[in-house]
Structure 1
Amino acid sequence: MRICVFLSAADLPERYTGPARDFAERLGRAGHTLVWGGSDAGLMKVVADGVQNAGGRLCGVSVTFLQGVARPNADEMVFAADLAERKKLMLERADAVVIMVGGTGTLDEATEILELKKHGHTDKPVVLLNTAGFYDGLAQQFRRMEDEGFLARPLAELMYFADEPAGALAYLESAPGASEVG
């Protein structure tokens, strides 16, 4: 399976890097391919290292203005002209999506895939990996959106919330259509 992971390129504390490394190693050991932002810095590097060291493949999708921090030894590296094209290319190459901790860029990527799912433009499984409770507030906001009628589909159809890496990967591997690109 080709799993797109949206996440930060920032250097983060162990409470975030440890679970990210755990997820990456599980992904690699299972023979999956990581589709990620292509950066060789911060949490993106931690995840790419974990996947590669555990035997998985790397498909990076970077942007031309970040070429200087792109991972040099990825199995595949594509450069997009801008961030919008990068998101599009990442999603086209993925069978499933995991949203890890991140800032505004990660939030933008997360809402894009959810909007596509809401409108029926994709049925790829999406997992929000809520490491160390990072997304508790966002999860609460999504539930409020659902409760107050702002979502056209039930929240459970849009995304799965996981607190641990093992649960995130288990969900993806059992989700219908997860191995079908499109």
Structure 2
Amino acid sequence: MNICVFLSAADLDERYTAPAREFAGLLGKAGHTLVWGGSDTGLMKVVADGVQEAGGRLVGVSVDFLAAKARARADEMTITKDLAERKALLLAKSDAIVVMVGGTGTLDEATEILELKKHGKHAKPVVVLNTAGFYDGLKTQFQRMEDEGFLPRPLVDLAFFAEDGRTALAHLESEIAAR
């Protein structure tokens, strides 16, 4: 399975890097391909290293203004002209999406993917990996959106919130197998 992971390129605390490393190892050992923003820095590097060390493939999609930070040892790397093209290509190359901890770029990617899914532009499973409760507030906000009629589909149809990597991967594999 080609699993797109949206996540931070920042150097982060061990409470985020250790679970990310574990999840990456699970992906690689299961023979999955990581489709990611292509960066060889921060948490993106941690996950790419973990997948590659466990035997998985790396498919990166970077953007021209970040090309200097792109991972040289990826199995495949594409450099896009802008962020919109990057997001479209990440989605096109993936079978499923995982949203890991990140900043505004990750949030932008996550909301666009969910908006496209809401409107039926893709049906790929989306998992929000809620490491250390990072996305508790977002989950509450999404639940409020559903409760107050802002979502035309139930939240569970748009995204699955997982507390750990094993649960996230099991959900994705189950969803893909059911298709």
1:102 matched residue in structure 2: 102
Q: Deviations over 1:69-105 (max 9, x none)?
A: 1000000000000011100000000000000000000
1:118 matched residue in structure 2: 118
4+ residue runs over 3 A deviation: none
Question: How do 1:45-56 residues align onto structure 2 when only pairs under 5 Å count?
Answer: 45-56=45-56
Question: How do 1:61-76 residues align onto structure 2 when only pairs under 5 Å count?
Answer: 61-76=61-76
- What is the letter of the counterpart of residue 171 of structure 1? H
Task: Tell me if the contact between 1:124 and 1:177 (Cα under 8 Å) persists in the aligned partners.
Answer: no
Cα distance in 2 for partners of 1:177, 1:87 equals 25
Question: How do 1:1-182 residues align onto structure 2 when only pairs under 5 Å count?
Answer: 1-176=1-176
State TM-score, norm by structure 1.
0.97
Q: Secondary structure at the match of 2:10?
A: coil
- What is the letter of the counterpart of residue 64 of structure 1? D
Cα distance in 2 for partners of 1:74, 1:83 equals 20
- What is the letter of the counterpart of residue 95 of structure 1? D
Cα distance in 2 for partners of 1:54, 1:177 equals 22
Cα distance in 1 for partners of 2:137, 2:83 equals 26
Q: Secondary structure at the match of 2:61?
A: strand
Task: Tell me if the contact between 1:99 and 1:129 (Cα under 8 Å) persists in the aligned partners.
Answer: yes
CA RMSD after TM alignment? 1.0
Task: Tell me if the contact between 1:123 and 1:177 (Cα under 8 Å) persists in the aligned partners.
Answer: no
Q: Deviations over 1:37-61 (max 9, x none)?
A: 0000000000000000000000000
Cα distance in 2 for partners of 1:100, 1:111 equals 13
Q: Secondary structure at the match of 1:46?
A: helix
- What is the letter of the counterpart of residue 19 of structure 1? P
- What is the letter of the counterpart of residue 96 of structure 2? A
Deviation at 1:65, TM superposition (A): 1.0
Deviation at 1:176, TM superposition (A): 4.1
Cα distance in 2 for partners of 1:93, 1:81 equals 17
Task: Tell me if the contact between 1:34 and 1:59 (Cα under 8 Å) persists in the aligned partners.
Answer: yes
Gap regions ≥5 residues in structure 1: none
Q: Secondary structure at the match of 2:91?
A: helix
Deviation at 1:177, TM superposition (A): 6.4
Report the count of equivalent residues. 179
